């Protein structure tokens, strides 16, 4: 999924002629802490709520003040993972999207990012979740997929989490099958370490809520 697929042009942008007071009012209305500054379609940078609060004269144009604007942005062709990285690195409440000439096209809000990330992660699809531990040099997604498919199931999505103090990975696998007992048994036969699994359909909504809260914590919202 690319940035152009999840951006919106409904977020108000600022011009250098706008004043700090109106900028704060817009942020409060939109419930964001950042706004793009755009002059003649050219993206100049992001101004934060903290930047504005440092301005003494709230009625003077923001262009009259020396602003060290940060310029985190993504190209319209960048992938959603580039957006997540920027949000995490800079604690952003939105990410500007530009073309290859630095013209502002729109932005990606946290709400759109969360919903889009949930979509590509197949969290809305019923099924089971399994976390296995593997050594880095033994990791093989093709073998993991074969194990799942040998039990008449499909891998809907997967991701890796590296251990900080070793060369091991936790591999989280979402499969399109509620009854994952056969998959668990096959992983055990192949000497995989099963760290965690989930297959209770009645608690599925609780799990989704937990994963959503974990994502919000990761993004430091």
Q: pLDDT tens digit string along 132-147?
A: 999 988 889 899 999 9
pLDDT classification of 65: cutoffs 50, 70, 90: confident
pLDDT of residue 206: 56
pLDDT classification of 207: cutoffs 50, 70, 90: low
By DSSP bridging, strand 94-98 and strand 74-75 are parallel
pLDDT classification of 88: cutoffs 50, 70, 90: confident
Q: What are the structure tokens assigned to 79, written together?
A: 């992938």
Instruction: For Cα atoms 58, 61, 64, give the angle at the middle one, nearest 5 degrees.
Output: 105
CA 59/CA 65 separation, integer angstroms: 11
Domain 121-218 belongs in CATH node 3.90.1150.10: no
Q: What are the start-end ranges of the E strands in 49-192?
A: 74-75, 94-98, 104-109, 128-135, 155-162, 168-175
Mean pLDDT of 73-77: 93
* Residue 200 or 135, more confident: 135
CB 141 within 8 A of CB 45: no
For the cut 90, the answer to whether the pLDDT of residue 153 exceeds it is yes
The lowest-confidence range among 6-10, 162-166, 212-216 is: 212-216
Domain ranges of the chain: 3-118, 121-218
Which of 3.30.70.1560, 3.10.129.10, 3.30.565.10, 3.10.580.10 is the CATH number of 3-118? 3.10.580.10
Mean pLDDT of 86-105: 93
For the cut 90, the answer to whether the pLDDT of residue 205 exceeds it is no
Of 10, 54, 58, the closest CA to residue 30 belongs to: 10
* Residue 115 or 97, more confident: 97
Mean pLDDT of 154-172: 85
pLDDT of residue 74: 93
pTM: 0.66
Mean pLDDT of 166-176: 89
């Amino acid at each position: 999924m690319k940035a152009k697929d999840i951006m919106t042009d409904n977020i108000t942008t600022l011009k250098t002629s706008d004043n700090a007071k109106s900028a704060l009012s817009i942020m409060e209305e939109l419930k964001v802490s950042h706004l793009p500054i755009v002059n003649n379609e050219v993206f100049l940078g992001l101004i934060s709520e903290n930047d504005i609060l440092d301005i003494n004269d709230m009625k003077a144009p923001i262009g009259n003040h020396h602003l060290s604007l940060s310029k985190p942005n993504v190209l319209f062709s960048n992938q959603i993972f580039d957006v997540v990285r920027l949000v995490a690195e800079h604690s952003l409440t939105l990410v500007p999207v530009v073309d290859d000439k630095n013209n502002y096209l729109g932005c990606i809000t946290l709400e759109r990012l969360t919903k889009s990330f949930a979509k590509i992660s197949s969290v809305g699809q019923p099924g089971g979740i399994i976390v296995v531990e593997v050594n880095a040099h033994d990791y093989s997604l093709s073998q993991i997929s074969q194990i799942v498919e040998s039990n008449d199931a499909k891998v809907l999505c997967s991701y890796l989490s590296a251990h900080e103090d070793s060369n091991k990975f936790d591999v989280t696998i979402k499969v399109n099958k509620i009854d994952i007992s056969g998959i668990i048994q096959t992983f055990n036969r192949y000497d995989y370490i099963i760290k965690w699994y989930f297959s209770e359909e009645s608690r599925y909504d609780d799990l989704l809520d937990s994963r959503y809260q974990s994502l919000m914590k990761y993004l430091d919202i």
